[in-house]
Structure 1
């Protein structure tokens, strides 16, 4: 069938965010990591989510990978595309949200893209085109200081206009108040891009109804909120009790690559990290850093503790390393070390369940393990769920349980509570 939703997410944690919410609706959801071949995409599921590594990629690569994913989804029978981007619109003026939307609009024969990053369950809302994180404008939130995608402008029409030559219009909340039929009428004449306000799920439901009526004229996109509203119109194909592979008994491991405020709180609640990875050391002597980290993990596992490996969250130290190495090189050095620690922990120490915080870190870890697809098992918090997959880069290809989360997601006690429902 060609009417299944195929979600094209710009990173791994964004894919898992969507999949967690769709799974909560009782849908059977598959997550495919990286650019898939049609044969990689399961046919007997309600929705397929592709997790790319495109959020901070050069535009040309982001567009090419998104188009390749869309083509594979269509060939595999998931021909209704949704462009998933972050609920905080993480994208600089050189970013990929606008160019990818344009490419997918053209490839799908649509007239316009329409969407919103608003995700009320994650406290992300849009009003008069301005994105709020909780009760603060995006530009007044910690996202304003993100090392790779600092969000200093909360006006999404302005932000998107700087990424595209096509017109960007606002569908404000007053228009949503006119009802789905009126909104569908507006979308029928739209071109370029439309950013929509949304303060709650009711707003998203109006927009979803309008998108359904508009049909192929528009490409929907945004955060997990809107695709969840669209998915509320799907009848699950089964009872949600699909048999899944489960990991063998083994050790647990937390890898926190995110420097977000919420991840810092989660680290503190867990008692702090076992090992901290500094960018300068990771760049200069990665093998030694990995070996030292494995010693600490081994000791914790032997003592019955869950080891926690952190990228370090001292802002002064991070800034110093970025000044010495540059932002991109510092980040790449840490991600490479964290990914190798994860791989060797599974291969050598018997770790079978990993909780990974941070989008870039999650992508690096899953690539290092050779995990190409995931099946969702249990939602823990909004946008946060456990999944299972095979670590094909490890001898024997063991099944591993992974919880891949955006740095800002999850309750403060997630690093200790998540294990209660782990596969």
Structure 2
């Protein structure tokens, strides 16, 4: 294994897997830290954690455990992957985890770059944009777990770490890899170890990746990985086989626990198409009034792509959190989705489409999936995934971050996951 990656959620990890696979690397995504050694043919291994919104000390412990396993697989470079909207509170967890990894690897010049132009996330003069809006005006300021109220990533990150935060502006990035490398050296010479780097286009990210050849630690969104495979390819270290893909027959079901603007639009499009829907009310889930088996049985009786969803308006989500507490509400809904997923798989479904990072993590953990093969891209940042049980049963999955995908994502995913 060459490149060792640590993802702070499951959808973001599959987003990264998609990027690396498209660039020709042989990629496997692992659900948590594996017990044994990886297949030696794997070139990039991604340990997907559910550490984005847990206490910082737990996120650090899990990330360091993943780092040790990846080091044992022979990795020479490491990537800490987080969301392209830098989802975090002023306390973390991005800063604390990046700091812990930097200390463990004795890494200097640690790039911080959440940019993902393909999904409309760009970083300019240290400020993160979602299309033409500043991050804190894009709807992310209403995120139920990690509200982003400041678009200045330098300022937000500085609140989360004791390490000095530097910046490489776009005037250096547009000079290409040589200019970027020189600017990183200069920022580090000034005392900065965590260095925010601007990026507006995929070409910028490729040049940044070239400049990072040989550095032990990189952090960012999946876009920061665009230029990394070529560094290994230049040294003749890639086999060039990539990943193969075969879809799965059978019934499909959609689970949606995201209240993002994009996902709510996808739920609305599903409704407009007259397809079956089952809404999970937060109050009922918290009160334990919903039986996972009964909900799954409802879905299994439908003839075309039923949707089970809890994608409420942000104001409704806030009211629920104020009434029951954020953690209690999240745990109840995620636990319910995980239990429903188990019942659906036991019922023999072939394809499962999941919207929302926390929901995706709960589903994958509930199904005890150990590893996922990477398939073709459904939408920017969202690949098809294939899980195979010890008995040989296959399940095709799409794990989507809340804000990813177009209005017809559910239909698009179902089509690509099919044989």
After TM superposition, the score normalised by the length of structure 2 is: 0.92
- Correspondences of 1:296-375 after superposition (within 5 Å): 296-300=298-302, 304-347=303-346, 349-375=347-373
Output the aligned Cα RMSD.
Answer: 1.9
Alignment of 1:85 onto 2:82: yes
Which of 275, 278, 290 in structure 2 is aligned with 1:275? 278
Q: Which residue of 2 aligns with 1:408?
A: 403
Partner of 1:237: 239
SS in 1 for 2:180: helix
Name the stretch that deviates more: 88-97 or 173-182: 173-182
Once the two structures are TM-superposed, the CA of residue 414 in structure 1 deviates from its matched residue by 1.0
Task: Name structure 2 gaps, 5 residues minimum.
Answer: none
Residues 71-124 of structure 1 show CA distances to partners (whole Å, capped at 9, x for unaligned) of: 101111223101111100001111111111111112112123112101111110
User: Is residue 62 of structure 1 aligned with residue 96 of structure 2?
Assistant: no
Q: Aligned-pair distance for 1:397? A: 6.7
User: Partner residue of 1:205?
Assistant: 206
Cα distance in 1, alignment partners of residues 74 and 301 from structure 2: 48
Structure 1 residue aligned with 2:261: 261
Higher mean C-alpha displacement, 352-361 vs 267-276:
267-276
**What residue ranges of structure 1 are gaps of 5+ in the alignment?**
none
Which whole-Å CA distance do the structure 1 matches of 2:344 and 2:296 have between them?
7
3-state SS in 1 of match to 2:350: strand
Alignment of 1:78-227 (within 5 A): 78-188=75-185, 190=188, 191-212=192-213, 215-216=214-215, 219-227=217-225
SS at match of 1:376: strand
Asked if the contact 2:125–2:169 (Cα under 8 Å) also holds between the matched residues in 1, the reply is yes
**Residues 1:206 and 1:256: Cα distance change in structure 2 (over 3 Å):** same
Distance in 2 (CA, whole Å) between partners of 1:99 and 1:327 is: 22
Q: 1:59 to 1:273 in 2, by over 3 A?
A: farther
| Aligned pair partner of 1:284 in 272, 287, 304 | 287
Structure 1 range deviating more: 198-207 or 9-18: 198-207
Among residues 2, 8, 11, which one is paired with 1:10 in the alignment? 8
Does the 8 A contact of 2:263 with 2:311 survive in 1? no
For residue 132 of structure 1, report the CA deviation from its aligned partner. 0.1
1:280 to partner: Cα distance: 1.4
User: 3-state DSSP class of the match of 1:77?
Assistant: coil
Query: 2:144, 2:371 → 1: CA distance?
Result: 29
Kindly tell me: are residues 376 and 90 of structure 1, through their superposed partners in 2, closer, same or farther at Cα, counting changes over 3 Å? same
Cα deviation, residue 316, structure 1: 4.5
With over 3 angstroms needed to count, the CA separation of the structure-2 counterparts of 1:23 and 1:241, relative to structure 1, is closer
Which residue pairs with 1:35 in the alignment?
Answer: 33
Q: Return the offset for 1:50.
A: 1.2
- The answer to whether the 8 Å contact 1:10/1:51 transfers is yes
Runs in 1 of length 4+ with deviation above 6 angstroms?
none
- Structure 1 pair 315–246 and aligned structure 2 pair: CA distance change class (3 A): closer
